Amino acid sequence: MNDIETILRLTDIRKEFGVSGTSSLRVVLSGLSLTVKKGESLAITGPSGSGKTTLLNLIAALDKPDKGLIEFKGRNLAGYSSDELDTYRNQSIGIVFQLHHLLPQCTLLENILVPTLAVNNKAKRAFYLERAGELIRRMGLWEVRNQYPGTLSGGECQRTAVARALINDPDLLLADEPTGALDQANALNLGELLTEINRIDGKTIIMVTHSAEMAARMERTVDLITL
Ligand SMILES: Nc1ncnc2c1ncn2[C@@H]1O[C@H](COP(=O)(O)OP(=O)(O)OP(=O)(O)O)[C@@H](O)[C@H]1O
Ligand SMILES: [Mg+2]
């Protein structure tokens, strides 16, 4: 496969955790290889405990594999300097969790701007404010943009989390059970949004889900148990 088209390549990944109170290790991922093309949408499924969140954490460079390579745009994450890793986490990827993880003391708008706070340049701040406004409109959140998470519905919080993940225009959107805590209507709505972000904006999406309906929206499904 042409490497220009490959955004992410995992080769022979192994991840194990120590079992507390014992000297034994639990192998969670072993011999996992996966290639993701730029612009692709991928669902990751598998039973509870099969290592789905572990895998997303490795891709997000929040944890390191015990063995194997993780290459983003052809470069091994293990070779990134600590500054490069910070930039990768802040700019190249966006993450949406099952529970939105919004800051309760910040408004919806402020939460979306959190990943941009390190930038002080006035022109850049104006740019981010405008981009946040666009995302807020697109997510159908304009009326509630100055409210705090505690006063928002679950669906509104999760759409805010998606906007926050997109504020720095990342190449890759990672989502861990993004609809897991939502009712059917809000889950459908979020599924539509994620599909649109993939098809219209061309973002590569890797989504962990238990929902067959959400998985069917993605172009490809990888089931961890069958790898
Ligand atoms: N930091 C850790 N220390 C020890 N064990 C861990 C750690 N993180 C994950 N595990 C173990 O690794 C296994 C896989 O966990 P993981 O969270 O990746 O599963 P999952 O597929 O996301 O499950 P779920 O569908 O329930 O979210 C589990 O048995 C878990 O207990
Ligand atoms: Mg999980």
Domains of the chain by start residue, with CATH: 6-226 (3.40.50.300)
User: Minimum-distance ligand to the CA of 48?
Assistant: 1
Predicted local distance difference test score (pLDDT) of residue 227: 47
DSSP state of 104: T
Predicted local distance difference test score (pLDDT) of residue 161: 96
Q: Please state, in angstroms and rounded to a whole number, the distance separating the CA atoms of residues 9 and 32.
A: 11
Predicted local distance difference test score (pLDDT) of residue 226: 53
Q: Please state, in angstroms and rounded to a whole number, the distance separating the CA atoms of residues 26 and 79.
A: 26
- Scanning 139-218, the segments in alpha helix (DSSP H) are 154-166, 184-199, 212-217
Q: Please state, in angstroms and rounded to a whole number, the distance separating the CA atoms of residues 34 and 83.
A: 26
Q: Which atom of ligand 1 is nearest to the CA of 177?
A: 27
Predicted local distance difference test score (pLDDT) of residue 98: 86
| Ligand 1 pocket, residues with Cβ under 6 angstroms | 17, 28, 46, 48-54
Residues of the chain with pLDDT under 50: 1, 227
Predicted local distance difference test score (pLDDT) of residue 3: 56
DSSP state of 37: E
Tokens 């949408």: give the residue: 41
Predicted local distance difference test score (pLDDT) of residue 99: 87
Task: Give the predicted TM-score (pTM) of the model.
Answer: 0.94
